[in-house]
Homo-oligomer: A and B are copies of this chain.
Amino acid sequence: KELHSVEEAFEFKLTDCVSWINVNGLNHVDSIEKIGTHYNLHPLVIEDLVSISQRPKIDEYEDYLFVVLKMLHLDAEEKLNYEQVSFILGSNYVLSFQESEGDVFGSVRERIRQGKGRVRTMQSDYLLYILMDAIVDEYFSVIETLGDKIEDLETDIFEGSIEESATKDIQELKKEVLKVRRSIFPLREVINRIEKHESALIQQRTKTYYRDIYDHLIQVTENIDIYREMLWSLMDMYMTTISNKMNEVMKVLTIMASIFIPLTFIAGIYGMNFDYIPELHYKYSYFILWGVMIALFIAMLFYFKRKKWL
C-alpha cells in the first residue's frame, strides 16, 4: 500500500516481519532526512542518498548496509535511462530510494502481493537479493539492445551504405558503452563485498544467491567488453571502407585520364597548322587514325583489365 506521510512508515520498524519502504523521488529532502534520523543513519549516508551522481558502492555500518547502484532501463524510444537506486539493509527492513517513479520492481511487488515463492518466508537480506536481481536482470536486456545497435551499424558499414553520420553513431555508441560499463562495473565489487560480509545482516544461505548475481554481473561486463572491442574495430572497418571507396574513385579517374589523354594528344597533332604535314593529304589517313585510336583504346582497356582495375 502507498503511504501518505513518512511517519506512517515508521511503525513498521518495530514489527517482527521484514518491511520494504520504497521512496520515489529524491527531492523530498525533508522526508528523507526524517527517515534517516528515524533509522539512525550516518549523516554521510543521507548526503549520499540525495546526491544522484554516486557510483555503485557499498558502505558497511554497524547495524545496516548502505548500497548504491544504477538502475538502467530503456524508455519507449529505446533511449537508455540511468537512475540511481540506494538501498539500506537493516536486520528487519529494506529501504530503497529511487530518483523517479518508474522502476523494474513490478514483478517483485507482484510476487510479494501474491505471497508466492520464498519471498515471504525469508529475511531482509533475501528481499534485497530479489530487488537487486530484478535490476541486474534488466541489465541483460539493456546490453542486448546495445549489441543489436552495434550489429546494425556493422551491417550498414559492410554493405557500403556509408553515410557520414556513421562516425558520429560509432562515437555515440562508444560513449554509451563506456557509460554503461561505468555504471555496472563497480557493482561486481559491491556484490563481492556483500558475499564476504561478516555479520548477522547477511545469512550464510543467502550468500549463494548473491553469488548468482555476481555470476550474472560477470556475464554482463564480459559482454560489454566485447561490444567495446567490436566498436573499436568498427571504426577501423569504417576507415577501410572509406579507403576502398577512394581507391575506386581513383581508379575511374585514372582509367578515364589514361585512355583519353594520349588520344587527345594525337588529335592535337593533326590539328596543327604546319604548311607541310604529309599525313594530312593522304586520302585514308583519317580512317587509319581512327583505327589506331581504337586499337590504343582496346589495348589500354586490356591492360587495366589485367591489372584488375576494371
**A254 contacts which of B253, B271, B277 (Cβ < 8 Å)?**
B253
- What chain B residues lie within 8 Å of A226 (beta carbons)? 178, 182
Q: Are A257 and B253 closer than 8 Å at their CB atoms?
A: yes
- What chain B residues lie within 8 Å of A182 (beta carbons)? 222, 226
Min C-beta distance of A210 to chain B, whole Å: 11
**A167 contacts which of B241, B247, B251 (Cβ < 8 Å)?**
B241
Q: Are A274 and B264 closer than 8 Å at their CB atoms?
A: no
**A44 contacts which of B209, B251, B285 (Cβ < 8 Å)?**
B209
Q: Are B158 and A168 closer than 8 Å at their CB atoms?
A: yes
Q: Are A240 and B243 closer than 8 Å at their CB atoms?
A: no
CA distance A237 to B174 in the complex (A): 12
How many monomers of this protein are in the complex? 5
Q: Are B245 and A246 closer than 8 Å at their CB atoms?
A: no
In the complex with contacts A243-B243, A277-B286, A261-B254 CB distance below 8 A: no
Min C-beta distance of A307 to chain B, whole Å: 8
In the complex with contacts A175-B230, A182-B222, A247-B242, A258-B252 CB distance below 8 A: yes
- What chain B residues lie within 8 Å of A208 (beta carbons)? 42, 44, 59
CA distance A229 to B309 in the complex (A): 32
User: Considering the complex, which residues of chain A in the window 246-274 have a beta carbon less than 8 Å from any beta carbon of chain B?
Assistant: 246-247, 249-254, 256-258, 260-265, 267-274
Min C-beta distance of A69 to chain B, whole Å: 14
Query: Is A281 an interface residue, CB under 8 A from the partner?
Result: yes
Spot the interface stretch: A21-29, A95-103, A211-219: A211-219
**A257 contacts which of B164, B238, B257, B271 (Cβ < 8 Å)?**
B257
Min C-beta distance of A51 to chain B, whole Å: 10
Q: Are B268 and A212 closer than 8 Å at their CB atoms?
A: no
Query: Is A233 an interface residue, CB under 8 A from the partner?
Result: yes
Query: Is A4 an interface residue, CB under 8 A from the partner?
Result: no
CA distance A175 to B229 in the complex (A): 9
11 chain-A/chain-B pairs, Cβ below 8 angstroms: A158-B167, A245-B247, A249-B254, A250-B250, A250-B254, A253-B257, A261-B264, A263-B265, A271-B272, A273-B277, A274-B279
